[in-house]
Chains A and B, each alone.
Chain A
Amino acid sequence: MTEDTKRHRREVLKLGAAAGAAGTVGLGRMAVGAGDSHTTPAALPDRDPPREYENYRTRRVPEDHDTIQAAVSAANPRDLVLIGPGRYTEEVRVLDTPDITIRGRDRNRVVLDGEGTRYNGIIALADGVVMENLTATGYAYNAFYWTGVDGYRGSSLTAVNNGDYGLYAFDSVNGRFEHSYAAGHPDSGFYIGQSNPSHARVENVVAERNGIGYSGTNAGGNLVLRDSVWRHNMGGIVPNTLDSEALAPQSAMRIENNEVHDNNNADAPAKAFGYAAFGTGINVAGGRDNEIVDNDVTGHINFGIGAVPMIDANLWRPGGNRVHDNRVADSGRADLALGAPARGGNRFANNDVSSSRPGSLTDDGMLGDLMTDIGDPWITLSLGKQYLQAELGEYPHGDWRDGPAPPTRKPMPNPERPPREAVGPRRD
């Protein structure tokens, strides 16, 4: 099966999932997702820093090779493809050479342009591929895409106005997205899917004007999302469970110390799934055993932090999620929310909030316990209605082709430095 075919299949399945979600009337006939949570904890053990490669060759574009693809095709493992400023109208594929680094010499002036027709800016099917310090825009699918790999890193990347995802890792482990920016993607700016345990980290990134800032289907287990800004998307951070990808349910992700605000952007491009999350800050859709800690979440018309059931081929109820020490304010419906039916074991503690649905969600007593086990159908109704609206095809949203040009972002220091591993060795 080709990547495009696989991708198309996933899209079709996702649409099917969306239709299922709309059909709440058929709930009685649905099986309840019974898969056990994966046992890997959410927090990611420290890693040593990535080690620099010693024996490598620098392949310069356009000095040594006319195109980036030509340099990649000629590269050996650990080589550095170093790209000079310019506009590159190509799609780059790294099929079987592991551990190469594709790096721009100037993040803001090395631009891969899909011109609205090419599929992916750079797609990596080999392990350990690093993409650094460049911009990709105008691709029909994704800006930077890793699939089926062990070891990946995207650093100082700018992904703007592409038809699907910005930085996208699917069925991949041991990775990192850092110091990157994603805007104007109908699905999500950053995505990690079908990966548990992920052994991955997303940090110091900014996502704005996307359908969803971060979306992660069935991804978790040593997966940390931290120190980042998620703003002016339709929905902020949405870990989620879908039957259309393996490893359901989503579980064990740690979301820590993020700034999540004003994710009510009706002009952002969005698919149905993104629109369903409209007006929510952090929204665990059918996920389990996640930790949401020490985040600042403000200005969402629906709710700030919540967990809701996800309806696909199965009904996936949120359970065992721990939401604590967050500051949530200025939410339309409620600062904290738990949608019914829930699976139980969700805990909301020490959060600085002024409202919740159900009402006693933050109480320590028996009523609080009961509420965290049951949830509130109002939350499910409000987002379910948005889902249905999107499925019926008449929801407010922008077009990814019409977004503003990529903004200038901080480049990586010293782009001539030697290439390094994707991620350092784990200390576990």
Chain B
Amino acid sequence: MASDTRADDAGGRSRSVRRLVGGQRHSARTTALAVVLALLCGAYAAWLLADFGLRWPALLAVAVLAGVFFYSRRTPAAMLASGFYGLAVLVVLTPIVLDLAFVFAADGYGITPWPFVLSLADLVFLGVFVALALILSAIGFVISRRADAGNETDSEDAAVPEG
């Protein structure tokens, strides 16, 4: 009886996890891809937030959330595309967080932060990082479109009647 309950609990947890990841089940190779992408995003977030002393929480939170999100994608290509989109978001945030760390710390050093962070150089930095993010997004978009095109071709192939 007890073992039946445990089995039911395990089954329930499994279903919850499945729902969380959009009902997806992937091969070990595709799962590894999701893990690698998640760790990459987590590491970037950890790097981004280290000035705030949030290196490890950022790594953990972003890696888990991104991992769940990536795993919920239907195909490896969609996963990869999402990975590029995720990195693009983090890249755009880089110059902003660089300045935010200064702004939040400034008061403790008796510094008025605005002349340091609202300058043409900040705009240039933002532009450079937005450009990098656009490149990453474009790569993600191309991967996504190719995957969609492949799926449509597969569907059309499947729709051809035999004989």
Contacts and interface: CB of A to CB of B under 8 A. Distances in A.
Interface of A: 25, 262, 264, 266, 278-279, 299-301, 332-334, 355, 357, 359, 376, 378, 381-382, 385-386, 388-389, 391-392, 394-396
A385 B121 contact: yes
A334 B109 contact: no
Interface stretch (B66-74, B78-86, B111-119, B151-159): B111-119
Given A333-B101, A382-B98, A392 B120 contact: yes
Most A CB contacts (10 A, CB to CB) among B47, B109, B111, B120 go to: B109
Given A301-B109, A332-B108, A334-B51, 6 more contacts: A266-B112, A279-B109, A357-B50, A385-B122, A388-B125, A389-B121
Contacts of A266: 111-112, 115-116
B119 A389 contact: yes
Contacts of B98: 378, 381-382, 385
A386 B117 CA distance: 9
26 contacts: A264-B109, A266-B112, A266-B116, A300-B109, A301-B102, A301-B105, A301-B109, A332-B101, A332-B108, A332-B109, A334-B50, A357-B50, A378-B47, A378-B98, A381-B94, A381-B98, A381-B125, A382-B98, A386-B121, A388-B121, A389-B116, A389-B121, A392-B120, A394-B120, A395-B115, A396-B115
A378 B112 CA distance: 22
Given A332-B101, A359-B55, A378-B98, A299 B109 contact: yes
Most B CB contacts (10 A, CB to CB) among A378, A386, A392 go to: A378
Contacts of A396: 115-116
Contacts, number: 71
B106 interface: yes
B50 A378 contact: yes
A10 B24 CA distance: 65
B128 interface: yes
Contacts of B116: 266, 278, 386, 389, 396
Interface size class of B (residues with CB under 8 A): 20 to 34
A394 B119 contact: yes
Nearest to A378: B47
A358 to B, nearest CB: 8
Nearest to B129: A381
B10 interface: no
B123 to A, nearest CB: 10
A301 B117 CA distance: 14
A308 B103 CA distance: 22
B106 A301 contact: yes
Given A381-B98, A388-B121, A355 B53 contact: yes
A396 B112 CA distance: 10
B20 interface: no
Contacts of A278: 116
A389 B120 CA distance: 7
B111 A385 contact: no
Interface in B89-108: 94-95, 98, 101-102, 105-106, 108
A382 B121 CA distance: 11
B124 interface: yes
Given A25-B128, A381-B98, A301 B111 contact: yes
B94 to A, nearest CB: 8
B53 A395 contact: no
B51 A332 contact: yes
A385 B127 CA distance: 13
A148 to B, nearest CB: 37
A406 B109 CA distance: 25
Contacts of A386: 116, 121
A107 B109 CA distance: 34
B137 to A, nearest CB: 20
A360 B158 CA distance: 54
A301 B98 CA distance: 12
Given A382-B98, A392-B119, A332 B105 contact: yes
Contacts of B112: 266
Contacts of A389: 116, 119-122
Nearest to B106: A301
Contacts of A391: 121
B108 to A, nearest CB: 8
Nearest to B116: A396
Contacts of B105: 301, 332-333
Nearest to B51: A333
8 nearest CB pairs, A to B:
A389-B121, A332-B105, A388-B121, A396-B115, A301-B109, A333-B51, A389-B119, A392-B120
A306 B77 CA distance: 42
A354 B110 CA distance: 21
A263 to B, nearest CB: 10
Interface string B52-66: 010100000000000
Nearest to A388: B121
Nearest to A390: B121
A396 B113 CA distance: 10
Contacts of B47: 376, 378
A332 B106 CA distance: 8
Nearest to A331: B105
B103 to A, nearest CB: 10
A301 B106 CA distance: 7
A388 B124 contact: yes
A188 to B, nearest CB: 21
Contacts of B109: 262, 264, 279, 299-301, 332
